[in-house]
Structure formats: structure tokens, C-alpha cells
Amino acid sequence: MKVFVIGIGLIGGSMVLDIKTLHPEATIYGIDNNESHLAEALALGVVDKAATFDDLVDADFVIVSVPVDVALIVLPKVLDVVGDTTIVFEVGSTKIPICEAVANHPKRRHFIATHPIAGTEFSGPSAAIKGLFQGKTNIICEVEKTTFKLQEKALDLFKEMGMRIRYMDPKSHDKHIAYVSHLSHISAFMLGKTVINKEKDEQDIFDMAGSGFESTVRLAKSSPAMWTPIFKQNRKQVVKTLDEYISNLSKFKELLEKEDYEAIYNEMQSVNKIKEILNGINIKK
């Protein structure tokens, strides 16, 4: 089995580590425009061999795992060269622009649009982890546009990795993900900014920061190179979610200014139900 990963970072790297465990006979080929990432991936055994686009013709699987703006350029080029039995999937955090970029490609039926809801704040091949996708959800868009046989080939692999499959149209995906992922990242970045701006002596932050601060601000360590194009591509939805979030923050501030502690208590109590919601999700997993 020939598996190609284009963009050998956290997500692509973690996928091929799982594939290698599940299918020891597979050869993993890596393509990355970052020479040091490619060398690191070879040294770590994340990939077996370096490859080029010319090698894609007899690939079984091609995983495109690059920043979402790069995916718009890379994906049509990959489809241009792949053979009859190749399934290509990409894993980007936005789906409308990517589905539009390949909508009229003659080999659209060789492509499956996915978004595995798994990750960490780290990037590059050294961030790749075995078992990252176990028990996680993989959102698949426009599945009907992929040839049935190739759909099955991809779905079998996702299930082997332990992923639950959810089907969604690209518009719903981009709308919902703006709330549960994109807004969380902005919120962490701006919380980090607020604290850094005020606490010029960084040692004070580390001395006083409890685990609450650390876990809330964790996502602020994420890569700007990956997140800027995500915000660009999902700008309209992200702006909407920010309006709602800013309005909630302003209301909370008003209640505090008015010293309305009963309303503050009730506000927090009503949000406490997030515990049951998240527990429910973890039980389903």
C-alpha cells in the first residue's frame, strides 16, 4: 500500500503513524515544502521516503494536510496527477472554500473532504502522535460527490483509526466549527494578549498562573501561520460568533458594574449545564 502525506505536521504525521501501525506493509511517502520538516519526519520514522508530485500516480491514499490557503492550490494539482484507484483526502479546518476549489475538477470523485476534530496546540512532524484520532469525530462533507468504492476505502481507514464519522454540508460545518473551535482560539489568543500586555514582568505571570489560566490560554500557543488563513476563509461566520461573544462579555461587565451579583450568579449557573453537555459527549465517545 502506498500512502502519501503532503504537509507532514501534527495532523498528517499523526495519520501516517496510525496507518503504519495498522498496516505495517504500507510505505509512507512524504512531501513537504519545509526541508527541515521533511528531514525530521524521515529521522523520526514518521515517513519512510521523500517523494514528489510525479510519484502520486500510483498512490493508494493521498493525505493533504497543509494550511487551508495552501490546500486550495495543492489539492487541484494533486487531483491532476493521481491514478484511477487513488483516494485523496484533506483535513483542513474550513470546508466551503476547499469544496468549491475542486467542485469542477474532472477528478472530483477521487476526493473526500474531511475534518478530523482532533489536535493539539503544537505543529510540525515532532508534534505527531500515535492514536490521536481514537474516539474522535471525523466530519465528512459532500460524501455523495466521491466515487462509492473510494468512499468505502477512506471510511474503512478512518474507522480503523477509531474515528466516528459525521456527515455535514460544508456550510453547516463552517458555521458550527466557528463556535466550537475558531472562537475558542480567538478567545485564548486575546486572553493571552490581555495578560501579557498588563503583566510586563513575565515571571509574575508564571508565578501566579494557576492551572485554570494555563488550560484556558493553552490554544494561544497555536501557530499563526495555520490560523490566519482559517480566520480569513471563515471570516463571515467568525465575525458573527465574535459579535455574540463580545455582547455576552459586555453584559457580564455591566452586571458587575451594577453590582448585580444575583444576576451574575444566575448567569454562571445557567452555563454550568456545559458540564452535562460535555459529559454526554465524552460518554458517547
Q: How far is the CB of 252 from ligand NAP (least distance, A)?
A: 29
Q: Which three cell numbers stand for residue 211?
A: 492551572
Sorted by sequence, the CB contacts under 8 Å of residue 243 that are 6+ apart come out as: none
For ligand NAP, the binding residues in 17-56 under the rule CB under 6 A are 31-34, 37
- Radius of gyration of the chain from its Cα atoms, rounded to whole angstroms: 21
Which 8-state DSSP code applies to residue 57?
Answer: G
Q: Does 185 bind ligand NAP (CB under 6 A)?
A: no
Q: Does 223 bind ligand NAP (CB under 6 A)?
A: yes
Q: How far is the CB of 37 from ligand NAP (least distance, A)?
A: 4
Do residues 163 and 49 make contact, with C-beta atoms less than 8 angstroms apart? no
Minimum CB distance to ligand NAP smaller for 87 or for 91 = 91
Minimum CB distance to ligand NAP smaller for 189 or for 252 = 189
φ, ψ for residue 275, nearest 5 deg: -60, -50
Binding residue for ligand NAP, selected from 59, 68, 75, 102, defined by CB under 6 A: 68
Q: How far is the CB of 65 from ligand NAP (least distance, A)?
A: 4
Three-state SS at 136: coil
Binding residue for ligand NAP, selected from 18, 62, 112, 116, defined by CB under 6 A: 116
Minimum CB distance to ligand NAP smaller for 66 or for 140 = 66
Binding residue for ligand NAP, selected from 72, 82, 91, 163, defined by CB under 6 A: 91
Q: How far apart are CA 116 and CA 132, in angstroms?
A: 10
Binding mask 228-267 for ligand NAP (x = CB under 6 A): --x-------------------------------------
Amino acid identity for residue 131 in this structure: G
Q: How far apart are CA 193 and CA 48, in angstroms?
A: 41
Binding residue for ligand NAP, selected from 119, 168, 188, 217, defined by CB under 6 A: 119
Question: Integer distance in angstroms from the first to the last C-alpha of the chain?
Answer: 30
Minimum CB distance to ligand NAP smaller for 106 or for 224 = 224
Minimum CB distance to ligand NAP smaller for 147 or for 216 = 216
Q: How far is the CB of 16 from ligand NAP (least distance, A)?
A: 11
Minimum CB distance to ligand NAP smaller for 7 or for 97 = 7
Helices (H) and strands (E) in the chain — how many of each? 13, 8
Ordered alpha helix ranges (H), 161-273: 170-177, 183-198, 202-208, 211-217, 224-233, 235-257, 261-271
Give the interface size with ligand NAP as a residue count (CB under 6 A). Answer: 32
Q: How far is the CB of 172 from ligand NAP (least distance, A)?
A: 17
Cα 71 from chain centroid (whole Å):
13
Task: Choose the stretch contacting ligand NAP; rule: CB under 6 A; options: 111-119, 139-147, 193-201, 238-246.
Answer: 111-119
Q: How far apart are CA 39 and CA 90, in angstroms?
A: 22
Element containing residue 146 per DSSP (H, E): none
Do residues 217 and 191 make contact, with C-beta atoms less than 8 angstroms apart? yes
Task: Give the footprint of ligand NAP on this chain (CB under 6 A).
Answer: 6-12, 31-34, 37, 65-68, 70-71, 74, 91-93, 115-116, 119, 123-124, 127, 223, 225-226, 230
